[in-house]
């Protein structure tokens, strides 16, 4: 280990977008960055330990010390590069809902890695491949962290060289609508409901729809309804989130490309244009049962950003 340390008083500002993974057929592969953000400011301190101030989502719920996920990620990154961890003061303004299938844990991990990158500026160079590798190691899979890091539509996979990604630009007509329920959903529970094996014809079905979905998102939004059909994961998880499935089914009955967002229970509607999104929002508003918060979001094309502020003398 080296005695190198980040300058005391150095501050970084980080912004990380929400994400929606799977997008229907692209299970554990496709992800989309959305214009809903967590903003953080992290400052190094001579005082040991970590002090975290949370505003917005998670306030009064998430840890405010060294057990905080962002802080743990910063510590992990510093240790990986053999740099002494300073004291940390962190202020977070969180807007990404927790436990709703919008990549909140992935966003926290990406925020910590980006904060570490900024705090280590001039000491260690962490390139995009290293960012994805670190985030995937902590998250367990790259489908949420890739779009959070790089923005846009991402295809993520793992090779013998580690996690990889390809970023694609989305057709300007694509207009996402996110429907957020009051209830949360455990990602671990959602994953446990998947079968160990699936029928060959279902796998082939999803391969065709995933290929079509790429074409629909980057070139032909009018194909989004057909392209978002899925037989690999959503039906197996239906019993754990009946209200989500009910909303998805109603939206799809109106010809709208609705899917479960990530592990759920939020619903993502990939509309072909802003007018269709207004139609989708009206269907959600008229839907019976528990209320849904409908968010009209844009596709985020920048991904996570970090700005470094020099240490104050």
Per-residue pLDDT reduced to its tens digit, 40-55: 999 999 999 999 999 9
Q: Residue 91: its pLDDT value, please?
A: 98
Which of 87-101, 215-229, 239-253 bottoms out in mean pLDDT, i.e. has the lowest?
A: 239-253
CATH code reported for the domain at 175-296: 3.30.70.890
Q: Residue 311: its pLDDT value, please?
A: 73
Question: Is 98 assigned to a binding site?
Answer: yes
pLDDT confidence tier of residue 244, bands split at 50, 70 and 90? very high
Residue scoring higher pLDDT (211 or 190)? 211
Question: Is 104 assigned to a binding site?
Answer: yes
Q: With a cut of 60, say whether residue 190 has pLDDT above it.
A: no
Average per-residue pLDDT for the chain? 93
Q: In the chain, which ranges are E strands? A: 11-21, 30-45, 50-56, 87-94, 153-159, 162-168, 175-180, 258-260, 267-271, 293-296, 305-309
pLDDT confidence tier of residue 240, bands split at 50, 70 and 90? confident
Question: Is 105 assigned to a binding site?
Answer: yes
pLDDT confidence tier of residue 243, bands split at 50, 70 and 90? very high
Question: Is 10 assigned to a binding site?
Answer: no
> Exposed, middle or buried, 250 (CB in 10 Å: 0-12/13-18/19+)?
middle
* Total Cβ atoms within 10 A of residue 214: 17
Q: What percent of the chain has pLDDT over 70?
A: 94
Question: Is 87 assigned to a binding site?
Answer: no
Question: Is 82 assigned to a binding site?
Answer: no
Question: Is 204 assigned to a binding site?
Answer: no
Of 139, 154, 306, whose CA–CA distance to 218 is shortest?
Answer: 154
Q: With a cut of 50, say whether residue 150 has pLDDT above it.
A: yes
Of 27, 30, 36, whose CA–CA distance to 165 is shortest?
Answer: 30
Question: Is 289 assigned to a binding site?
Answer: no
Whether the full predicted model's pTM is greater than 0.85, yes or no, is yes
Q: Parallel, antiparallel, or unpaired: how do β-strands 50-56 and 87-94 relate?
A: parallel
Question: Is 13 assigned to a binding site?
Answer: no
Q: What percent of the chain has pLDDT over 90?
A: 81
Question: Is 107 assigned to a binding site?
Answer: yes
* Total Cβ atoms within 10 A of residue 92: 24
Q: Residue 195: its pLDDT value, please?
A: 65
* Residue 12: φ, ψ to 5°: -130, 145
As a whole number, mean pLDDT of residues 76-84 equals 96
Q: With a cut of 50, say whether residue 80 has pLDDT above it.
A: yes
Question: Is 102 assigned to a binding site?
Answer: yes
Which of 139-143, 229-233, 261-265, 273-277 bottoms out in mean pLDDT, i.e. has the lowest?
A: 229-233
Domain residue limits, the chain: 11-168+300-309, 175-296
Q: Residue 1: its pLDDT value, please?
A: 41
Rg for the chain, CA atoms, rounded: 20
Q: Which CATH number fits domain 11-168+300-309: 3.30.230.10, 3.30.70.1150, 1.10.1240.10, 2.60.120.920?
A: 3.30.230.10
């Amino acid at each position: 280990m080296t005695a190198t340390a980040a300058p005391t008083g150095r501050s970084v500002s980080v912004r990380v977008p929400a994400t929606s993974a799977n997008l229907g057929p692209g299970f554990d592969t496709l992800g989309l960055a959305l214009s809903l953000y967590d903003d953080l400011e992290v400052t190094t301190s001579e005082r040991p330990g970590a002090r975290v101030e949370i505003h917005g989502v998670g306030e009064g719920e998430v840890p405010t010390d060294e057990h905080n996920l962002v802080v743990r990620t910063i510590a992990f990154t510093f240790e990986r590069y053999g740099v002494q961890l300073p004291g940390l003061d962190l202020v977070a303004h969180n807007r990404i809902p927790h436990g709703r299938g919008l990549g909140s844990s992935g966003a926290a991990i990406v925020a910590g890695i980006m904060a570490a990158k900024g705090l280590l500026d001039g000491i260690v160079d962490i390139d995009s491949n290293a960012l994805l590798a670190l985030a995937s190691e902590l998250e367990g899979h790259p489908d949420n962290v890739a779009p959070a890091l790089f923005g846009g539509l991402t295809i993520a996979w793992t090779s013998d060289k580690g996690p990889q990604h390809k970023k694609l630009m989305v057709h300007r007509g694509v207009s996402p609508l996110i429907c957020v329920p009051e209830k949360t959903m455990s990602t671990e529970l959602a994953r446990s409901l998947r079968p160990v094996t699936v029928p060959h014809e279902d796998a082939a079905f999803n391969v065709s729809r995933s290929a079509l979905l790429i074409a629909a998102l980057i070139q032909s939004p009018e194909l989004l309804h057909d392209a978002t059909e899925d037989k690999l994961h959503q039906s197996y998880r239906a019993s754990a989130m009946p209200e989500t499935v009910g909303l998805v089914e109603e939206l799809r009955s109106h010809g709208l490309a609705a899917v479960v967002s990530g592990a759920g229970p939020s619903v993502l509607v990939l509309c072909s244009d802003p007018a269709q999104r207004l139609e989708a929002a009206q269907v959600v508003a008229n839907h019976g049962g528990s209320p849904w918060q409908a968010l009209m979001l844009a596709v985020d094309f920048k991904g996570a950003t970090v700005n470094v502020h020099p240490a104050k003398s």
